[in-house]
């Protein structure tokens, strides 16, 4: 069967109409469902400093852009536009500033460096910076001076922490970190002793006081009789939870307002949701082992058919891994699951936490943030 030109034009027109309709439907669905492009981190490359014949320091700044940053560092080469397939450092995760140490460089060579960061959506690079190492045959350090950088403080627990240093110029006869609680620490304060030489080293700080702010600096001693210091950093040790203490729930709020069975919404969970048996419960916790919820003066059903005597919870703290997280089996959550609660405030007189709650039941179906406040039980 022969198809005329007019029929071909009609068929083509119909095809265009169908394609346009599909595009409109897809666009409408995206608008209705909130389609958004996957976001990668925002990265800025930091300045290069402490340049020697074989080492340098750099780093960068990372903004997570709404998705957790799983890896970050700097990449570098001698050709330009470096990426993670070239030489690169790995410097932790998360957003914020970070420091990178470049080693094994060639003397009198131009390098190109870019900070990078990655999340579940991909890897982003910062701006490119170039620098040149010094001539290895030139006596660029005739006075045997030392340049040392203090490493960030990590692995902070109740009574210990980890830091260290990075010697980018010169050779140390002794090195480590010095620390105190007043600032500007020197080798006359508490110190670690971590060998000698150059390059990176790790220092372990032990026998610290809990819930105390410390100041730390890397130090290096040269064969010229001088002691050199890195920049000062500060950190605070975690709270000690070695003494059990009873806590009583005094306030509980929901954001957004929690929707009850009758359709009313309440922000204050203490009025209209919690029952006396839950408000009067005394919770006992300690640093180690399992914890228990002691029943208050009144035992009753929680309103959902769960007996308060059997729906009792557990608390535990994950020190030193997560010093800001309290894991809690919240009695008035009917699913009885253990949840990770973020500690907002903790001291001898107040415990305040926030916890996310996904309710799959109608009409309250949705995601809520509960803020729970406890005071010491009398």
Contact status, residue 175 vs residue 205, Cβ threshold 8 Å = no
Position with higher pLDDT, 160 vs 331: 160
pLDDT over 90 percentage in the chain: 29
Neighbours of 326 (CB within 10 A): 21
**CATH architecture classification, 42-132:** Sandwich (2.60)
Peptide bond into 320 cis (omega under 30): yes
Q: In what order do the strands lie in the sheet with 197-205?
A: 147-150, 161-172, 197-205
Domain residue limits, the chain = 42-132, 147-236, 245-376
pLDDT digit string, tens, across residues 295-315: 433 333 344 443 333 334 455
Q: Which residue(s) pair with 204 in the sheet?
A: 162
pLDDT score of 311: 35
Contact status, residue 169 vs residue 101, Cβ threshold 8 Å = no
Give the model's confidence band at 283: pLDDT under 50 very low, under 70 low, under 90 confident, else very high. low
Q: How far apart are CA 31 and CA 35, in angstroms?
A: 6
Same fold, 147-236 and 245-376: no
Would you say the C-alpha torsion 93, 97, 101, 105 has a positive or negative sign? Answer: positive
Q: Give, in words, the CATH class of 245-376.
A: mainly beta
Position with higher pLDDT, 332 vs 147: 147
Give the model's confidence band at 182: pLDDT under 50 very low, under 70 low, under 90 confident, else very high. very high
pLDDT over 70 percentage in the chain: 66
Range 147-236 classified under CATH 3.40.50.300: no
Tokens representing 364 are 């309250």
Q: How far apart are CA 357 and CA 335, in angstroms?
A: 10
- Please, what is the average pLDDT of the chain? 77
The model carries a pTM of 0.48
Tokens representing 199 are 């390059």
Contact status, residue 318 vs residue 338, Cβ threshold 8 Å = no
């Amino acid at each position: 069967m022969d198809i005329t030109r007019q029929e071909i034009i009609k068929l083509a027109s119909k095809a265009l109409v169908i394609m346009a309709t599909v595009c409109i439907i897809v666009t409408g669905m995206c608008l209705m469902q909130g389609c958004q492009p996957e976001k990668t981190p925002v990265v800025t490359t930091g300045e290069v400093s402490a340049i020697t014949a074989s080492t340098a320091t750099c780093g960068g700044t990372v903004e997570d852009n709404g998705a957790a940053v799983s890896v970050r560092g700097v990449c570098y080469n001698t050709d330009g536009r470096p990426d993670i397939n070239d030489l690169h450092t790995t410097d932790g995760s998360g957003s914020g500033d970070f420091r990178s140490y470049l080693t094994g460089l060639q003397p009198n060579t131009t390098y190109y460096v870019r900070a990078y960061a990655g999340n579940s959506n991909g890897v982003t690079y910062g701006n490119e910076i170039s620098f040149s190492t010094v001539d290895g045959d030139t006596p660029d350090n005739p006075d045997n001076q030392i340049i040392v950088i203090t490493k960030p403080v990590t692995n902070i627990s109740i009574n210990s922490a980890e830091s260290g240093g990075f010697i980018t110029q010169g050779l140390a006869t002794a090195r480590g970190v010095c620390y105190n609680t007043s600032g500007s620490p020197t080798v006359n304060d508490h110190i670690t002793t971590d060998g000698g030489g150059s390059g990176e080293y790790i220092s372990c700080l032990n026998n610290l006081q809990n819930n105390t702010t410390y100041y730390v600096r890397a130090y290096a001693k040269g064969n010229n009789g001088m002691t050199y210091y890195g920049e000062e950093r500060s950190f605070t040790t975690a709270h000690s939870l070695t003494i059990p203490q009873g806590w009583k729930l005094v306030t509980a709020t929901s954001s957004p307002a929690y929707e009850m069975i009758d359709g009313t919404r309440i922000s204050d969970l203490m009025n209209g949701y919690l029952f006396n048996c839950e408000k009067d419960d005394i919770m006992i916790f300690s640093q180690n082992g399992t914890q228990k919820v002691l029943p208050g003066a009144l035992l009753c059903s929680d309103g959902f058919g769960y007996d308060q005597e059997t729906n009792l919870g557990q608390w535990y703290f994950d020190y030193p891994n997560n010093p800001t997280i309290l894991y809690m089996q919240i009695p008035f959550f009917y699913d009885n699951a253990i949840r990770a609660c973020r500690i907002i405030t903790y001291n001898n007189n107040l415990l305040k936490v926030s916890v996310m709650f996904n309710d799959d039941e109608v009409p309250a179906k949705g995601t809520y943030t509960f803020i729970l406040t406890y005071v010491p039980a009398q």
